[in-house]
Amino acid sequence: MRVSIPREVDTMKSLKKSLAKVGIQPPFTIPDGFHTCPQSILKLVRILNLPTPDLDKLDHKMVHDFSEENTQGIAYAYGDVWFLSAEKNLFKYSIKGPDFFKPTVRRLRKKGLSTMIGESDISTTGHNFDHIGGIGWCDGLLFASIRDGGNKKAHIVLGLSRNLDVVGYSWLAKGTADAWCTVNPWNKLLYMSTEESARYFIIYDISEYFRVLTQPDKWGRQVSMPLTQKKFLLYKKNGRPDEATSVQGTVFSPNGRLYVAWYVKHTTYWTNHLRVYNALTGVRLDDKTYDFSGVGDEIEGLSVHPSGYIYVAVADNDWPSTDEFELHAFKYRDPTQPV
């Protein structure tokens, strides 16, 4: 349907002008014309008029590290609670501000992958669930992508409670990569990438998980998580298809951006990228490379805190020594530039 401009935005820039700012001319339908869209027209107009993010204006600092092999992801949950993932373990942490460049960090819980698989009724015959990927949080549920090393085309997702109890599991469609997953808070759908392409992200319906969450007697069983027909297509600024190789994690910000961590692997080092897209249109807004302090440091998953900080998980790949799980904080130095 066509959307008329409501009276309450008369004092703001018109919706028509706001759409034109991102290159959209009428006729245009809302929400169907967007990849994803907030429920409020007021919020939509505000987001359309935000300044374009400039990643060169991000301040950056490593804020915490601890010994753990194969860093994977991070997800802000609620209050002071965050979740972290490594290859074999999930962690629940308390990370407190008010200055998230100098946080107070405390581990609340650690849980191994083998224990989580054992809490479910999934058969391990012919399977080898050997790797946790990136993670995403939404409304009481933590989602973790899990690699099946025994059958590369049959990965799963685990849904877990805030105490890291297994609510359920779902088999992923053929071709779905196990590297990461994230939830878009606007539509409560799960986004992942495919094995063969990073030109778009595929989308799963996780609504059944929220129903099962309220029924603990049904936890640990397989949960229906159908793949939708929708795709989140990536575009360059000129409108042509975009591509990001080796995506390690993504996160939707409350201000309509999609931040993407990805890398290019060389013989002995990684070129690490932080990229940002318009979550409404899928158009790339900016991209920046980061050279973290170690020789083999590899960017992994990332998350956004409501205060405006972006937290990025980094693996130092310090072989043969024990790896360090590094937490890096980013924040725009311009207070008028929201994440």
CATH code, domain carrying 154:
2.120.10
Q: Is 301 a member of any domain?
A: yes
Q: Which helix (H) or strand (E) holds 252?
A: strand 247-252
Q: Are residues 39 and 131 in the same domain?
A: no
Q: Is 337 a member of any domain?
A: no
Q: Is 338 a member of any domain?
A: no
Q: Are residues 165 and 34 in the same domain?
A: no
Provide the number of structural domains found in the chain.
2
Write out the residue range of the structural domain in which residue 254 sits: 53-332
Q: Are residues 42 and 139 in the same domain?
A: no
Q: Is 37 a member of any domain?
A: yes
Q: Is 339 a member of any domain?
A: no
Q: Is 71 a member of any domain?
A: yes
Q: Are residues 134 and 31 in the same domain?
A: no
Q: Is 192 a member of any domain?
A: yes
Q: Are residues 285 and 208 in the same domain?
A: yes
User: What pLDDT, on a 0 to 100 scale, did the predictor assign at position 273?
Assistant: 95
Q: Are residues 140 and 206 in the same domain?
A: yes
Q: Are residues 176 and 267 in the same domain?
A: yes
Q: What are phi and psi of 265, to 5 degrees?
A: -90, 130
Q: Are residues 152 and 252 in the same domain?
A: yes
Q: Are residues 36 and 181 in the same domain?
A: no
User: What pLDDT, on a 0 to 100 scale, did the predictor assign at position 267?
Assistant: 72
Name the pairing type of β-strands 104-112 and 129-138.
unpaired
Neighbours of 3 (CB within 10 A): 14
Q: Is 2 a member of any domain?
A: no
Q: Are residues 19 and 147 in the same domain?
A: no
User: What pLDDT, on a 0 to 100 scale, did the predictor assign at position 320?
Assistant: 66
Name the pairing type of β-strands 189-193 and 166-171.
unpaired
User: What pLDDT, on a 0 to 100 scale, did the predictor assign at position 11?
Assistant: 36
Inter-CA distances, 126 with 64, 151, 152, 218, Å: 39, 8, 11, 25
Q: Which two tokens stand for residue 322?
A: 């024990």
21 HSE (CA, 13 A, CB side):
17
Q: Are residues 247 and 197 in the same domain?
A: yes
- Is the CB of residue 82 less than 8 Å from the CB of residue 96? no
Alpha-carbon distance 80 to 306, whole Å?
Answer: 11
Q: Which two tokens stand for residue 94?
A: 């308390």
DSSP notation for 81-105: EEEEEESSEEEEEEEE-S-TTS-EE
User: What pLDDT, on a 0 to 100 scale, did the predictor assign at position 13?
Assistant: 53
- Nearest residue to 191 via CA among 228, 141, 159, 146: 228
Which residues of the chain register pLDDT less than 70?
A: 1-13, 152-153, 320
Q: Are residues 34 and 127 in the same domain?
A: no
Inter-CA distances, 224 with 30, 160, 188, 218, Å: 29, 15, 15, 13
